[in-house]
């Protein structure tokens, strides 16, 4: 009897095992069908199949993730544009476009929304800064609130803050060169210097206090508060990098209902909170920096609640890199082009006044309006053409279909606008790889045979609703830094440096370093 029972139990457990095996197989098949086969079939049958592109584009995004993570996406995109032309497919739902009319449609006519990736770099997707805000209405509200602080007139009012920081850079270069004989070689890391001055300018214009990056004070004279303050740029960049690296993991976990929380370092929140309280208690409302603007009238764009310290940090933390990586990177490219084109550098130096270290700093209005700075302005415009710091930017088609460059683009497509490739298209820019500032001179006699620029094929600051809010600020800073350095110093390149670019959000020199030889002109 006992024996019969154990046979029955064995048969039942076999059946249970078989059923469990069948259930697991069915679940596996369902999973593969839902998450692998169905998207694959959809991707292969998508109207995007009509676009040129490599064979693996409909199958995977792994190559894109790898290139984004390594900062080499711009190289791949450039080579694929060369191979396939102005429009190509490079992922199941990812396309790149550099066609002039299509870009105007994407950016200005229909103004496609930003991709979700922008929001992912924010500390909290519900409290992003202007750059990371992808929700159309809060974005509009925030832009309307911030725009008055970025007009030409307002930036002109702030140039005394720029002057202070650029004065520090000139003082540093004077210290380095003053005791040296003409034959001595003085070397400085130009990229680090430009980054430092751009951060100090952002500190002054955001909080009314620079970050001490250009002329650091001796460690022994620094109190704890000062040390934390000097670390703020690092803390912000570190936080952003962490979030950028975690984008895919963060989204995957969110799909499983797990939300990763990021916060700013507690020291940094305390340091900024101290300044916020000091300002709130002060009766002086005459300051022109962003902090004062946030305190006077800042409200959260989604709820209209007054901004608290964390909200203010969230806002500034996106404007800080947007306003420092971009300008320092572009000025670095300007110097690089001039050092690699000695005839253009000589022409520029000839056009500028020669000043001593103690002469007043040339301000942005002077460079903008005085004829002797025309060639410098042309050099800056040409640099922005050859090296648009945002080489490409992601938009998405949302729920609608669009006709772009002769193709029907379905809803849910990620459309990357390839500014850099458009800026290097010989159809609009003859001899596109030549650094040719004369293109931008209005006087035909001074243009020296250079063709007129086609500004409808020029988007260094993008266009439309999401175009750069800092355009006037950026121009003022680039003009002032370049004019004041070149009016006092000559720079020469050092051979055999490895100079390559990597692109995470903006294009940057790969090692964050470019060493040059510095010589006084006075």
Residues binding ligand HEM (CB under 6 A): 114, 130-131, 143, 319, 322-323, 326-327, 330, 389-390, 393, 460-462, 466-470, 473-474
Pick between residue 135 and residue 521 the one whose CB is nearest to ligand HEM.
135
Pick between residue 13 and residue 147 the one whose CB is nearest to ligand HEM.
147
In the complex, what is the shortest distance from the CB of residue 141 to ligand HEM, in angstroms, rounded to a whole number? 11
Pick between residue 78 and residue 133 the one whose CB is nearest to ligand HEM.
133
Measured CA angle at 457 (ends 452, 461), to 5 deg:
110
For the chain, the first-to-last Cα distance in angstroms comes to: 112
Pick between residue 198 and residue 516 the one whose CB is nearest to ligand HEM.
198
Q: Which residues pair with 415 in a beta bridge?
A: 95, 395
Q: 337, 435 in Cβ contact below 8 A?
A: yes
In the complex, what is the shortest distance from the CB of residue 110 to ligand HEM, in angstroms, rounded to a whole number? 14
Q: Which residue is nearest to ligand HEM (CB)?
A: 470
With both helix axes pointing from N to C terminus, report the angle between 224-245 and 247-255 in degrees, rounded to the nearest 10. 60
Q: How far apart are CA 37 and CA 406, in angstroms?
A: 29
What is the strand order of the sheet 489-493 is part of? 186-189, 515-520, 489-493
In the complex, what is the shortest distance from the CB of residue 506 to ligand HEM, in angstroms, rounded to a whole number? 8
Pick between residue 57 and residue 106 the one whose CB is nearest to ligand HEM.
106
Cβ partners under 8 Å of residue 351, min gap 6: 372, 373, 374, 375, 376
Q: How far apart are CA 333 and CA 18, in angstroms?
A: 67
Structure tokens at 472: 């006037």
Q: How far apart are CA 477 and CA 480, in angstroms?
A: 5
In the complex, what is the shortest distance from the CB of residue 372 to ligand HEM, in angstroms, rounded to a whole number? 23
Q: How far apart are CA 209 and CA 218, in angstroms?
A: 18
In the complex, what is the shortest distance from the CB of residue 265 to ligand HEM, in angstroms, rounded to a whole number? 23
Q: 200, 213 in Cβ contact below 8 A?
A: yes
Q: How far apart are CA 381 and CA 459, in angstroms?
A: 11
Q: How far apart are CA 145 and CA 297, in angstroms?
A: 9
Pick between residue 352 and residue 384 the one whose CB is nearest to ligand HEM.
384
Structure tokens at 345: 């550098």
The strand pair at 507-509 and 501-503 is best described as antiparallel
In the complex, what is the shortest distance from the CB of residue 106 to ligand HEM, in angstroms, rounded to a whole number? 10
Pick between residue 52 and residue 512 the one whose CB is nearest to ligand HEM.
512
Pick between residue 154 and residue 374 the one whose CB is nearest to ligand HEM.
154
In the complex, what is the shortest distance from the CB of residue 133 to ligand HEM, in angstroms, rounded to a whole number? 7
Using the structure block, give the residue that is written with the tokens 């800092």: 470
- Helix, strand, coil: what percent of the chain each, to 5? 55, 10, 35
In the complex, what is the shortest distance from the CB of residue 130 to ligand HEM, in angstroms, rounded to a whole number? 4
Q: Which residues pair with 404 in a beta bridge?
A: 407
Pick between residue 357 and residue 425 the one whose CB is nearest to ligand HEM.
425
In the complex, what is the shortest distance from the CB of residue 252 to ligand HEM, in angstroms, rounded to a whole number? 24
In the complex, what is the shortest distance from the CB of residue 182 to ligand HEM, in angstroms, rounded to a whole number? 34
Pick between residue 87 and residue 198 the one whose CB is nearest to ligand HEM.
198
Any idea what DSSP says for residue 437?
Answer: G
């Amino acid at each position: 009897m006992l024996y019969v029972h154990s046979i029955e139990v064995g048969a039942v457990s076999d059946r249970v095992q078989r059923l469990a095996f069948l259930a697991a197989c069915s679940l596996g098949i369902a999973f593969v069908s839902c998450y692998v086969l169905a998207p694959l079939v959809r991707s292969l049958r998508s109207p995007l199949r009509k676009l040129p592109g490599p064979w693996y584009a409909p199958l995977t995004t792994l190559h894109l993730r790898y290139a984004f993570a390594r900062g080499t996406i711009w190289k791949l995109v450039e080579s694929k544009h060369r191979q396939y032309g102005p429009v190509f497919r490079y992922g199941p739902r990812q396309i790149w476009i550099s066609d002039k009319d299509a870009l105007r449609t994407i950016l200005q006519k229909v103004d496609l929304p930003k991709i979700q990736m922008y929001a992912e770099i924010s500390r909290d997707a519900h409290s992003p800064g202007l750059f990371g805000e992808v929700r159309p209405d809060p974005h509009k509200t925030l832009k309307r609130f911030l725009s008055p602080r970025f007009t030409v007139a307002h930036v002109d009012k702030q140039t005394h803050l720029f002057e202070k920081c650029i004065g520090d850079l000139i003082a540093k270069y004077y210290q380095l060169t003053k005791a040296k004989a003409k034959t001595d070689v003085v070397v400085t890391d130009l990229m680090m210097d430009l980054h430092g001055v751009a951060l100090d300018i952002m500190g002054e214009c955001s909080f009314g206090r620079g970050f001490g990056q250009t002329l650091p004070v001796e460690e022994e004279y620094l109190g704890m508060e000062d040390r934390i303050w000097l670390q703020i740029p690092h803390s912000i960049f570190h936080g952003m990098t962490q979030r950028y690296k975690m984008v895919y993991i963060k989204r995957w976990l969110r799909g499983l209902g797990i939300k990763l929380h990021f916060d700013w370092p507690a020291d940094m929140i305390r340091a900024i909170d101290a300044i916020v309280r000091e300002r709130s208690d002060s009766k002086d409302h005459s300051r022109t920096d962003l902090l004062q603007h946030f305190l006077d009238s800042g409200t959260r764009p989604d709820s209209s609640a007054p901004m608290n310290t964390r909200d203010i940090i969230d806002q500034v933390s996106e404007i800080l890199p947007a306003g420092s990586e971009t300008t320092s990177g572009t000025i670095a490219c300007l110097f690089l082009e001039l050092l690699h084109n000695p005839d253009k550098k000589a022409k520029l130096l000839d056009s500028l006044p020669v000043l001593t270290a103690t002469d007043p700093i040339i301000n942005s209005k002077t460079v903008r309006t005085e004829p002797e700075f025309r060639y410098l302005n042309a050099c800056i415009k040409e640099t922005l053409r050859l090296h648009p710091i945002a080489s490409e930017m992601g938009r998405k088609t949302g729920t609608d279909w669009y006709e772009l460059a002769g193709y029907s683009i379905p809803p849910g497509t990620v459309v990357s606008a390839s500014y850099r490739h458009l800026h290097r298209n010989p159809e609009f820019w003859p001899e596109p790889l030549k650094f040719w500032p004369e293109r931008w001179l209005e006087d035909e006699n001074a243009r020296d045979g250079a063709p007129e620029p086609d500004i409808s094929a020029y988007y260094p600051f993008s266009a439309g609703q999401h175009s750069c809010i800092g355009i006037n600020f950026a121009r003022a800073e680039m003009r002032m830094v370049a004019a004041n350095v070149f009016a006092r110093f000559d720079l020469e390149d050092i051979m055999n440096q490895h100079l390559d670019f990597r692109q995470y959000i903006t294009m940057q020199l790969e090692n964050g370093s470019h060493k040059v030889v510095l010589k006084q002109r006075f």
